[in-house]
Chain A
Amino acid sequence: MAMTARQRARVSLYVQAGIFVVAIAALILATDWETIGNSVFNFAKIGPMFPGIFVTGLVNTLIYTFLGFIVGLSGGLLLALMKLSSFPLYRWIATGYIEFFRGIPALLVFIAFGYGVPLAFGVSWNVTVIVMISLGMVASAYIAETLRAGLQAVPKGQMEAARSLGMPQWRAMVTIVIPQAFKIVLPPLTNEIILLTKDSSLIYVLGLTASQYELTKFGRDGISSLGAGLTPLLVAGAFYLVITIPLSLLARKFESRSARTKR
C-alpha cells in the first residue's frame, strides 16, 4: 500500500528509534556488570574522598579556572586589539601567538611552564603561578579570537560617533566599543570558561601537595588509595558537571537574550 510522505517520515522515525533501543539493549547485555560494579560504580568505598573533594578539589578547580580566565581575558583582549591594529608588527605577533597556542596541546604548555621555564631561568614558581600562566596563556589565544570577532561585530558607526565627539581612539575603544563587544561575546566567552574548567585538570602533570589538589588529581589519588577501581574518577567527573552544566545554561540564557534584542 502506498504511503503518504508524512506516513513515510513517521515510519522512518520509528525505525530510527528502534535501532537506538536495540543498540542500548545490546550494550547492556554485553556489559560485565559484576566487574563494572566493583571497578567503576563501587560507591561503597569512596567515603574517604569526602569532604576533601568538595572543600579542596572543587574549590581549587574553581580557583585555578578563575585565575586562568582572568589572565586569559586580559591577554586575549590585548591580542585581539593587536590583531586589529593598523601596525603590521602587532598583527604578526598576535597571529603567531594565537596560531601557536591554539595549535599545541595544552598539556605541553603545562609541562613547559611547570618544568622547562623554571629550569631554563633557575626560578621556582609555586603551583598557583604556574597554573595561572599556563592556563592563562592557552586561554588568551582562544579568547583573543572570540573577542576579535566581537570587536569587529560592533558597527563602524559607533567608533565614528565616539571620535566625532572628540574621544581619542583609546577612549572610544574603552568606553564605547569594548563594552558592546563584550555583550556580543558573552555566550562564546562562557563556553571558553567551560573549556578552561576542563583544561585545569592538566595540572596533574605538576607535583602537587595535598592542599593543591583539584578535582582530577583528587580522582587519580583515589584510584590508588581507595581500592574502588576507577570510581573516584567517576565522582570527579560528576563534580565537573556541577560546574559546567550551570555555565552551559548561563551561556544559553545569554544567547537567547541577545537574540531577542534587535541589534
Chain B
Amino acid sequence: MNDVVHPAGSTGTIHAAGVSIKDLRKAYGSNEVLKGISLDVAPGEVVCLIGPSGSGKSTLLRCVNLLEQPNQGSIHVGGFEATDPDVDIDKMRRKVGMVFQQFNLFPHLDAKKNCSIAQTKVLKRSQAEADKVSMHNLERVGLGHLADRFPDQLSGGQQQRVAIARALSMNPELMLFDEPTSALDPETVGDVLSVMRNLAKEGMTMLVVTHEMGFAREVADRVVFMDGGVVVEEGAAEQVISAPTQPRTKEFLRRVLDPTHIEIEE
C-alpha cells in the first residue's frame, strides 16, 4: 500500500461543510426513485449510504450536486440552496467534490493536468499555482511520482486516486463518492479506501455510496440504509451493520456480508 502524505500548509486545510436534505423526491416518468428522503450530514461527518442496487442511493448522491434535478424537496449545501432555481450551480459545485464509479478522468490529459485544468479554468489560478496544488494532492493520494502519466497508463486504483486528487484540488468542503471501488480490481481497492480513510481523519465531510461494509463500519460516523427510495434505517455505523433493527436491513446485510465474519443478531 502506498504511503499517503498528510497535508501540510494552507493547501491542505479543510473547510468542511454540512448537507441538509429535506423530503427529497425524484421520479423518472412514473418511476419514483426517491420517495421523500431527509438526511442531515454535519460538517466533518462521514456518512455511508448502503442498500441494494436500484434503492436510489446513487440518485440521492447525484442530486446533492445537481447531476440529477430533484422534483421536490430541498437540499442545502454549505451556504447554498441547491434546489433554489436561481442557485449558481457552478459556484456551488466548486465546493462539492465528486468521485465516480468509472473514475471519468479526462483521457486526453495527464494526471497533473487532470488535477489542474479546472483550477485554471474555473478558479482562475495561475498555471504555476495550480500545478503546485495538483502535485500536493497527487502526493496526498500517493501518486506524485506518476503525475505525467495519462489515464490509460494507470491501473484502475491509480486512476481513482487521481480522480480523488482532482476533486481535492478544488478545495471542496464536501466530497461525494459514488461507489468509488466498485469498478476496481480487488487488489487495488485497499489503496483507494486508505486514501478515503485519511481524508475522513482530516475532517472532510463525506457522503459515500458503497458496498464495502468493512470500510463503512470502520470509517463512517453514520450508516444510512436505503431501499425502494426511502431511508429504512440509519444510525451509528456499528449499530446499523452489526445490530440492524429493521427486517429489510437484516436481509440485505445477510446477503452482503460473509456470515462467518460478522454475526447478525436475529
Interface residues of A (CB under 8 A from B): 155, 157-158, 160-168, 171, 175-176, 179-180, 183, 261-263
Contact of B167 among A165, A167, A262, A263 (CB under 8 A): A165
What are 22 A-B contacts defined by CB distance under 8 Å? Answer: A155-B102, A157-B102, A158-B104, A158-B106, A161-B100, A163-B67, A163-B90, A164-B65, A164-B93, A164-B97, A164-B167, A165-B118, A165-B167, A166-B122, A167-B90, A167-B118, A167-B121, A171-B121, A175-B117, A180-B107, A180-B108, A261-B152
Q: Is B26 part of the binding interface, using a Cβ–Cβ cutoff of 8 Å?
A: no
Q: Which of A161, A166, A175 has the most CB of B within 10 A?
A: A166
Interface contacts (Cβ under 8 Å), in number, total 65
Instruction: Encode B142-183 as 1/0 by CB contact (under 8 A) with A.
Output: 000000000010000000000100110010000000000000
SS of A interface (majority): helix
Contact of B90 among A157, A161, A166, A262 (CB under 8 A): A166
Q: Is the CB of B152 within 8 A of A166?
A: no
* Interface size grouping (class) on chain B: 20 to 34
Q: Is the CB of B122 within 8 A of A263?
A: no
Q: Is the CB of B107 within 8 A of A168?
A: no
Q: Is the CB of B90 within 8 A of A168?
A: yes
Q: Is B211 part of the binding interface, using a Cβ–Cβ cutoff of 8 Å?
A: no
Cα–Cα distance between A168 and B167 once the two chains are bound (Å): 16
Cα–Cα distance between A259 and B223 once the two chains are bound (Å): 44
Q: Is B25 part of the binding interface, using a Cβ–Cβ cutoff of 8 Å?
A: no
- 9 further contact pairs, Cβ within 8 A, besides A166-B170, A263-B152: A161-B98, A161-B104, A161-B105, A161-B163, A164-B97, A164-B167, A175-B117, A175-B121, A179-B108
Which residues of chain B have C-beta atoms less than 8 A from A157's C-beta?
100, 102, 104
Q: Is the CB of A160 within 8 A of B108?
A: no
Cα–Cα distance between A86 and B121 once the two chains are bound (Å): 25
Q: Is B77 part of the binding interface, using a Cβ–Cβ cutoff of 8 Å?
A: no
Q: Which of B91, B96, B118, B167 has the most CB of A within 10 A?
A: B118
Q: Is the CB of B98 within 8 A of A164?
A: yes
Cα–Cα distance between A162 and B102 once the two chains are bound (Å): 14
Q: Is the CB of B91 within 8 A of A166?
A: yes
Please give the distance in Å from A159's CB to the nearest CB on chain B. Answer: 9
With contact pairs A160-B67, A165-B167, A165-B170 given, residues A183 and B108 touching in the complex (Cβ less than 8 Å): yes
Q: Which residue of B lies closest to A158 (CB)?
A: B104
Q: Is B94 part of the binding interface, using a Cβ–Cβ cutoff of 8 Å?
A: yes
Contact of A165 among B102, B107, B122 (CB under 8 A): B122
Which residues of chain B have C-beta atoms less than 8 A from A165's C-beta?
93-94, 117-118, 122, 166-167, 170
* Those of B228-254 within 8 Å (CB) of chain A: none
Cα–Cα distance between A163 and B62 once the two chains are bound (Å): 12
Q: Is the CB of A171 within 8 A of B98?
A: no
With contact pairs A171-B121, A263-B152 given, residues A163 and B106 touching in the complex (Cβ less than 8 Å): no
Please give the distance in Å from B107's CB to the nearest CB on chain A. Answer: 6
Q: Which residue of B lies closest to A164 (CB)?
A: B98
Cα–Cα distance between A161 and B114 once the two chains are bound (Å): 11
Please give the distance in Å from B149's CB to the nearest CB on chain A. Answer: 14
